[in-house]
Structures are given as structure tokens and as C-alpha cells.
Homo-oligomer: A and B are copies of this chain.
Amino acid sequence: MEDRIIYLLKKEQGYLSGEELSKTLGVSRQALWKHIQSLKELGFDITAVPHLGYRLISIPDRLYDFQVYQGLKTKDFGKRILYFNSLSSTMDMATQLALKEATEGTVVLAETQAKGRGRLGRIWYSPKYKGLYFSMILRPKIALDKASIITLLAAVGICEAIKEFCALDVQIKWPNDIMIHNKKLGGILTEIKAEVDEVNFMVIGVGLNINNDKRSLISQATSLKQEKGGELSRLGILQNILYKLEVNYSLFKNKGPLAVIDKWRQLSLTLGKRVKVYSHREHIEGEAVDVDSDGGLLIRLDSGLTQKVIAGDVMHCR
């Protein structure tokens, strides 16, 4: 109901009489008034003037589920959003929901996370109302060794969404960092629940700096606001990301990993660079020449041999 009220008031761009509004919505004036009150509590500035009706003055910078649904172009992704003002970690909540059979495309979103995490248990700093912090459940029917592709696919989707919405040249640092001008804009965390045979479900976590001010960012990090020179619509970016994630997920399902990897190569900041990779128990150095169909990074060592890295931290050498 709240979404429809906002939709109608937005469309009207002026006063809409309570009588008309309640008639359109099929609710009593009293019920309408209650919905308006709860919208006000959510931060929507709505004035009520006798004989004129209601008017929407401003919309809060929030990512309420019903706002995200409005205008969302996806089929499944983000069609069920669980919104939290604050959460320990969207990953943990999404995992719990996935264990309870939540469907593919279910999104857990928080305005801030007390214990947001990145890869390998690292902290992801989640300042309130500044960034996008969400986790989405996927249930791909793939073998466990193909799971890395999903990370690549997510990175491609996020880059495409930002490019289109913000007209900024973002790139991917293998495996999962979203970069602008060699600074980190965001990251993707992929968690997997699997049998040895196959993936049960995956949770894709996205952390993206959007309207962060410079002083709240470390020197190797940036935000879209910093790069663009002004605030951006977190809502619009989220909707675009969900859409592009779905597009690339379909591409993967219909055309296989190579279609995704081709796009990934185009967006890669890592390929062609000399890199040091700190992986599980070793570190290797060489030129990043390609990714393979499992999402592994192929490094040409100085010896001329090519070595594959499944996971690790990449440092681009100058």
C-alpha cells in the first residue's frame, strides 16, 4: 500500500485529495491517514492541507523494499527484499534465509552493518546511508568447481550497472574488487553452501561506496561521490545492479561461462599487468595473462611456465 501511495503522489506532483486517493486505493479515509502516518515515520515528507489533500514534498534517502520494487526491471532478482535499518551482517541473515529455503533472487539489505565482512573474514566498513550493502541468494545448478564464475559474473554486472548509470569507467581487479582510477570502490563476497557434488546455494554479498565523503575513506578507497563530484541515487544504482546481475546470470545459464568471461576480460584491470598473488600458502609473481573457464587466474611466470591461481590476493606491480 505504501508503495502505491508514494507512486500516486509522485505522479501527481501536487496536491491529491484524500477522497480521491482513498477511492483509487480502495481504502477508507481513516486507513489512508494511517498509511500516510507510517510513511511520515519512514521519513517521507508529506503535507496535508484541508480541502487540498496530500502532497509529497520529499523522499528520504533510504532503500525501503517498496521503493526498490518500484521501477525494478528484473524478473526474479530483488523481487523479495528484506530491508533492515541496521544489521550485524547481511551475509549471515541471507545464509539463514537460504537454509530455510528462501528463493533465488531474495535480497537482504541493510543501511549499515555492525559486522560487515569482506573476503577471508576481513571487515567491510559500512557507514550508514552512504553505501550499498546487500546480499542476494542464488541457487545455480552447478558443480562446486564452477562456483568462482559466479563471482566474476557479479563483478561484471556491477561494473556494467555503474558504467551505465554513472557514466564512470569502472574496472575489475581479480577476483572481486570494483575499481576506479586504481582505487577500490567496492567488493564482492561469495559464500557457498555445497556438497562435494554440487552447489546447494550461494550468497553474493555486495559492498559499494557511494556517497561516502573523502574523510571517511582510506587512501586506497574511493566512492562514486568522490569520482563524480556529487551525490548519487543509491536507489537507482541498486535497481540497475540487480538488473545487470540478472542479465549476466541469465547469460551464464544460457551461454555458459565463456560468455561471462569474455565480458570480464574487457573489464579487467588485472590482465596484462605484472602481478604478485598471495594465495593459500604460496606467493607467486608474473604476468596475468588470462582467466580460465573456472574463473582461475593464469599467471605467466618468469620461467615461461604458466600457473593457475584459484584464489588469492592480487597486487598490481608498477
Verify if A194 is at the interface (C-beta below 8 Å from B).
yes
> Are B196 and A194 in contact (CB-based, < 8 A)?
no
- Name which residue of chain B comes closest to A176, CB basis: B196
Residues of B contacting A144 in the complex (Cβ-Cβ under 8 angstroms): 144, 147, 192, 310-311
Q: Pick from B120, B190, B193, B280: contact of A192, CB below 8 A.
A: B193
> Are B193 and A280 in contact (CB-based, < 8 A)?
no
> Are A119 and B195 in contact (CB-based, < 8 A)?
yes
Per-residue CB proximity of A147-171 to B under 8 Å, as 1/0?
Answer: 1100100000000000000000000
In this complex, the interface size class of chain A, counting residues with CB under 8 Å from chain B, is: 20 to 34
Verify if A175 is at the interface (C-beta below 8 Å from B).
yes
Residues of B contacting A189 in the complex (Cβ-Cβ under 8 angstroms): 195
| Cα–Cα distance between A148 and B193 once the two chains are bound (Å) | 14
Residues of B contacting A196 in the complex (Cβ-Cβ under 8 angstroms): 147-148, 151, 175-176, 190, 192, 295, 310-311
Residue of A145, A197, A310 with most chain B CB atoms under a 10 A cut-off = A197
The interface of chain A, by Cβ under 8 A from chain B, is: 92, 95-96, 99, 119-120, 143-145, 147-148, 151, 175-176, 189-198, 200, 280, 295, 310-312
